[in-house]
Amino acid sequence: MNIHTKKKDHTISRHIYGHFAEHLGRCVYEGIWVGEDSSIPNTRGIRNDVVEALRKLHIPNLRWPGGCFADEYHWKDGIGPLEDRPTIVNTNWGKVTENNHFGTHEFMDLCEQLDTEPYICGNVGSGTVQEMQEWVEYLTFDGESPMTNLRKKNGRDKPWKLKYFGIGNENWGCGGKMRVEHYADKYRNYQTYVKDLSGNEIYKIACGPQEADYHWMEVMMREGMDRIEPVKDAIIENIWDYHRPEMNGISLHYYTRNRANYTSATEFDEALWFDYMDRTMKIEEIIENHTAIMDKYDPEKSVGLIIDEWGTWFKVEPGTNPGFLYQQNTLRDALIAGINLNIFNNHCDRVHMANIAQVVNVLQAMILTDGEKMILTPSYHVFEMYKVHHDATLLPTNVSSRYYTYEDKHLPMINVSASQNQSGQINISICNIHPSVSDDIIIDLEGLTSEAQVEGRVLTADQINDHNTFDAPNNIQPIEFNDFKIEPNKLMVTIPSKSVLVLQIN
Ligand code: AHR
């Protein structure tokens, strides 16, 4: 394996390590929000243990309120005194009652407690242009206006800063079942009223395709942005910002799942291990194909590919509500997280943000809760180990990997990304997907001397389906790794089977 230490063209945005919290199952309610009167320690209703754990991940942004929930969410239901907020039905997720106790102020408070950037997804499917415009005004306007007055009445004097705003979610599906030709016009319409106010600058994210829907990408790149040359009009120029692209990012959703046959998150054999590694790796080809379309219309790569939903999707845990998408998280999820993040890092010229689904108690969660108890999942540990890549410079890698063969199918056994941070530290994250074979890797690293300081941590387990439980919360956690040798310009590493390894070289 060769790491190019001289080729430093792109930065791995920390926003690739973003998260997602939807009003779905026990993500927001119980996972994050317990209310001020709860016996679970909380700050203004938000549970302290979850905030403390997430702060250790340095999470860069948090997407909210959905997901499918976003396109049936009317934000004015979630402001004002709790007792006055209407109770609605969460039609997408179990048709349960939503009391709107967690709304705009609570979400912005959560982001402040987490020290993370809010990424709000607006309602195109069942909401109005006016509603979206007013939400942005409520959040960001400093001057005198009806929305400012409403915000002040609800206890917040100064506006918040809000950068990331999504114009709808999955508008080809739960967000309105639109054809892309229709959505492209809707997008142009809605985004016009998502304005920069009081010095706040919004990064607008269009609803993009699901998986390999290349037609959706083609039409959005062709029609979604205003490609007309700005009119040179000195007066108008000062009033309307003609020079900003009207679409800063476009989303892509790709879950590692088998929609014809959802299987257990914890009970699986090698066939399913292999199958899920294979499904995970497919995202690379999909990113490359979408990128090729985007490159045609945007060769400067100014529009970000925003993978704002990704991760594993299994059968729910036995005995839980099928609409709550609560699943356990094993070593297999850790490998899947590591592979995805390596792929996103390696495509950071186009992938500007990603959000794993979801942060607590839903799908490939970082954290699982049971009443007052909380555990960290193997996926959490991968995010914690990989934070060395945040805002570091990508170092391209050439990998000639051995193959992991299962029956008559083959996958590259090793998956890698590398970066260098501002103080010169080189970070290498390596996944070995083979369930039983370790690998001796020679890393060519120009400039490496025998004085170099190398530190490593590895995440692995005895069994492919090992996981943390409320009774054994530390079954899987990273441990120190020393199985390497340093030679001039070379690092020799023996990576254990089924493991995620992160090396830091100073
Ligand atoms: O993350 C769960 C759901 O998956 C989201 O609500 C939706 O956008 C996607 O289909």
Q: What percent of the chain has pLDDT over 90?
A: 93
To test the pocket of ligand 1, the residue of 174, 210, 327 to mutate (highest count of ligand atoms within 8 Å of its CB) is 174
293 has pLDDT over 90? yes
For residues 309, 315, 321, 324, the Cα torsion angle rounded to the nearest 10 degrees is: -10
pLDDT band with cut points at 50, 70 and 90 for residue 139: very high
For residue 288, give the 3-state DSSP assignment. Answer: helix
Q: Which of 119, 118, 162 is nearest to 140 (CA)?
A: 162
Closest ligand 1 atom, residue 309 Cα:
1
Is 230 a residue whose pLDDT tops 60?
no
For 172-181, what is the mean pLDDT?
A: 98
- Across the range 269-282, mean pLDDT stands at 98
CB atoms closer than 10 angstroms to residue 311:
26
* Mean of pLDDT values over 493-499: 98
At 52, list the tokens: 């403390």
Half-sphere exposure of 346 (CA within 13 A, CB side): 25
Atom of ligand 1 nearest to the CA of 66: 6
Q: What is the pLDDT of residue 244?
A: 52
Q: Is the pLDDT of residue 228 over 60?
A: no
> CA 98 to CA 75: how far, in whole Å?
13
Q: CB of 456 closer than 6 A to ligand 1?
A: no
Q: Which residues contact 280 (CB under 8 A, 6 or more apart)?
A: 256, 335, 336, 339, 340
Overall average pLDDT of the 182-192 stretch: 94
Q: How far apart are the first and last CA of the chain?
A: 19
Confidence of residue 140 (pLDDT cuts 50, 70, 90): very high
pLDDT at 5: 86
What mean pLDDT is predicted for residues 221-237?
Answer: 70
DSSP structure class, residue 390: T
Across 29-34, average pLDDT: 98
CA 379 to centroid of ligand 1, rounded, Å: 19
For 79-118, the pLDDT digits (tens) are 999 999 999 999 999 999 999 999 999 999 999 999 999 9
Q: Is the pLDDT of residue 243 over 80?
A: no
Mean pLDDT of 249-259: 97
On the question of pLDDT at 227 being above 80, the answer is no
What does the pLDDT look like over 333-382, one tens digit per residue? 999 999 999 999 999 999 999 999 999 999 999 999 999 999 999 999 99
Give the fold, CATH level 3, of 397-505. Immunoglobulin-like (2.60.40)
> Are the beta carbons of 337 and 283 closer than 8 angstroms?
no
- The number of beta carbons lying within 10 Å of the beta carbon of residue 87 is 10
Judge whether 288 counts as a catalytic residue.
no
Residue whose Cα lies nearest atom 8 of ligand 1: it is: 67
Tell me what pLDDT residue 225 has. Answer: 81
For the Cβ of 207 lying below 6 angstroms from any atom of ligand 1, the answer is no
Between the CA of 114 and the centroid of ligand 1 the distance, in Å, is 23
What is the sign of the dihedral through the CA atoms of 392, 397, 401 and 404?
positive
Residue type at 412?
P
Q: What is the pLDDT of residue 245?
A: 54
How confident is the model over 473-480, as a mean pLDDT? 98
Distance 271 CA to ligand 1 centre (A): 26
The answer to whether the CB of 20 falls within 8 A of the CB of 67 is yes
Given 170, 211, 285, 384, the catalytic residue: 170
The whole-number pLDDT of residue 7 equals: 84
Q: How far apart are CA 96 and CA 89, in angstroms?
A: 6
Domains of the chain: which residue ranges?
2-394, 397-505
Residue closest via CA to ligand 1's atom 5 equals 67
CATH 3.40.640.10 fits 2-394, yes or no: no
Phi, psi for 190 (deg, rounded to 5): -60, -45
Can you give the C-alpha Rg of the chain in angstroms? 23
Of all atoms in ligand 1, which is nearest to the CA of residue 169?
A: 8
pLDDT value of residue 218: 97
What is the CA(67)–ligand 1 centre distance, in A? 5
Q: How confident is the model at residue 8 (pLDDT cuts 50, 70, 90)?
A: confident
pLDDT band (50, 70, 90) for residue 400: confident
User: Among 71, 309, 310, 325, which is best to mutate for testing ligand 1, by the most ligand atoms less than 8 A from CB?
Assistant: 309
User: For the purposes of burial, counting CB atoms within 10 Å of the CB of 158, is it exposed (0-12), middle (13-18) or buried (19 or more)?
Assistant: exposed
Nearest Cα neighbor of 478 from 455, 504, 454, 458 is 458
Tokens for 505, please give them. Answer: 């070289």
Q: At 381, which helix (H) or strand (E)? A: helix 378-386
pLDDT reported for residue 79 = 98
Pocket test for ligand 1, best of 90, 253, 358 (most atoms within 8 A of CB): 253
**Res 78 pLDDT > 90:** yes
CB 464 within 8 A of CB 332: yes
Can 309 be counted among the known catalytic residues? yes
Ligand 1 center to 363 CA (angstroms): 10
Whose Cα sits closest to atom 2 in ligand 1?
67
Contact 433, 415 (CB under 8 A): yes
Residue 205 β-bridge partners: 166, 249
Q: What is the pLDDT of residues 12-31, one digit of tens each?
A: 999 999 999 999 999 999 99
Beta strands in 237-278 (DSSP E): 249-256
State both tokens at 137.
């005004």
30, 106, 309, 384: the catalytic one is 309
Distance from the alpha carbon of residue 68 to the mean position of ligand 1, in angstroms: 6
Overall average pLDDT of the 2-8 stretch: 88
Q: Cα torsion at 187, 190, 193, 194 (round to 10°)? A: -70
The whole-number average pLDDT for the span 159-186 is 98
pLDDT interval class at 327 (50, 70, 90): very high
Q: pLDDT averaged over the chain?
A: 95
What pLDDT, on a 0 to 100 scale, did the predictor assign at position 236?
64
- Give the Å distance between the CA of 492 and the centre of ligand 1: 42
State the pTM of this model.
Answer: 0.96
Separation of CA 25 from chain center: 19
pLDDT at 241 over 70: no
Distance of CA 389 to the CA centre of its chain: 15
Distances (CA, A) of 324 to 187, 202, 369: 30, 32, 13
> Region 48-75: what's the mean pLDDT?
98
What is the pLDDT, as a whole number, of residue 401? 86
> Cα(43)–Cα(72) distance, rounded to whole angstroms?
28
Write the pLDDT tens digit of every residue in 436-446. 999 999 999 99
pLDDT of residue 231 exceeding 70: no
